[in-house]
Amino acid sequence: MARRDATGRFMLYGACVPVLVFLLLPSLVIVPMALTKGQMIQFPPIWISVHSFTDYLDDPQWFDSTVLSFQVAALAVAIGCVTGGAAAVALHGRRFPGKGLVTGAIMAPIVVPLVVFALGGYLVFARLHMVGGWVAIGLLHGMLVTPYVFISVQTSLLAALNPLLVRSARSLGAGRWSVLRHVVWPAIRPGVLAGGVLGFAVSFDEVVVALFLQGPQTVTLPVRMFTAIQFELTPKVAASASLFLALSVLVLLAQSVATRRRGTA
């Protein structure tokens, strides 16, 4: 039996390790390319220099695009957490005609082709004279983030919210806001945080909507990277990608630590 278990474990690792390497290799290649001494992206790089990072941080256009992407992602996450979390709580445990249609409408932003979604948003915001502003990009990104938060909060509600607690709180005289604050919020908080982290990554990485709604002063970092790859191919592209790869790792580590602390509390 022990030999069979060891053989099965070996086969599992043998199947998983190549897949993980295949998934991680494109990201890991970026880091050495950012450390090249040359002025163009190349692999293998000419080791070793950090000039690409200093050039990236000293370039006003790249720095402004980075700040803009953070602004857009923050607005998108705020909208997504409020709308997605509220929708999940409102629909949880309720049955009514048309519930499937309502759920489908909430999930539509990740089902509809992104080009169609971006074009529709462009036509709407063009009528409102909002094209070229970062708020318009943030609003559409908020619609993209909403389904992810909705799914995450729904999962938290199914796993952590005991309907008996809600009934007990109401029977003891608690109002809606008290139930929401003391019973529902502790249950959905992990889902909101997980959905917010995923939504931040989705918004920060999005290119198509930002391309449709961009203006001269509202070029997000992914759009600037896309343009630089087409026309410049400077190491600043790899430097920016490396910095935010590190940021993603730090966010995931922080989420893991927070989850472990909640589990031991």
Q: Decide if 26 is inside a domain.
A: no
The CATH number for 247's domain is: 1.10.3720.10
Q: Decide if 247 is inside a domain.
A: yes
Token pair, residue 119, equals 């074009």
The packing angle between helices 221-231 and 60-91, to 10°, is 130
* Residue 236 clears pLDDT 90, i.e. is over it: no
130, 61 contact by CB (below 8 A): no
pLDDT tens, 67-88?
999 999 999 999 999 999 999 9
Q: Decide if 181 is inside a domain.
A: yes
Q: Decide if 15 is inside a domain.
A: no
Q: Decide if 170 is inside a domain.
A: yes
Q: Decide if 23 is inside a domain.
A: no
The pLDDT mean for the chain works out to 82
User: pLDDT-based confidence at 261, cuts 50/70/90?
Assistant: low
Q: Decide if 3 is inside a domain.
A: no
C-alpha dihedral sign at 160, 166, 169, 171: negative
User: pLDDT-based confidence at 217, cuts 50/70/90?
Assistant: confident
Per the structure, the count of domains in the chain is 1
Q: Decide if 31 is inside a domain.
A: no
For residue 48, say if its preceding peptide bond is cis, omega within 30 degrees of 0. Answer: yes
Burial class (CB in 10 A: 0-12, 13-18, 19+), 129: exposed
Gap between the Cα atoms of 183 and 167, Å rounded: 10
Q: What does pTM read for this prediction?
A: 0.82
* Residue 223 clears pLDDT 80, i.e. is over it: yes
* Residue 211 clears pLDDT 60, i.e. is over it: yes
Structural domain harbouring 260: 38-264
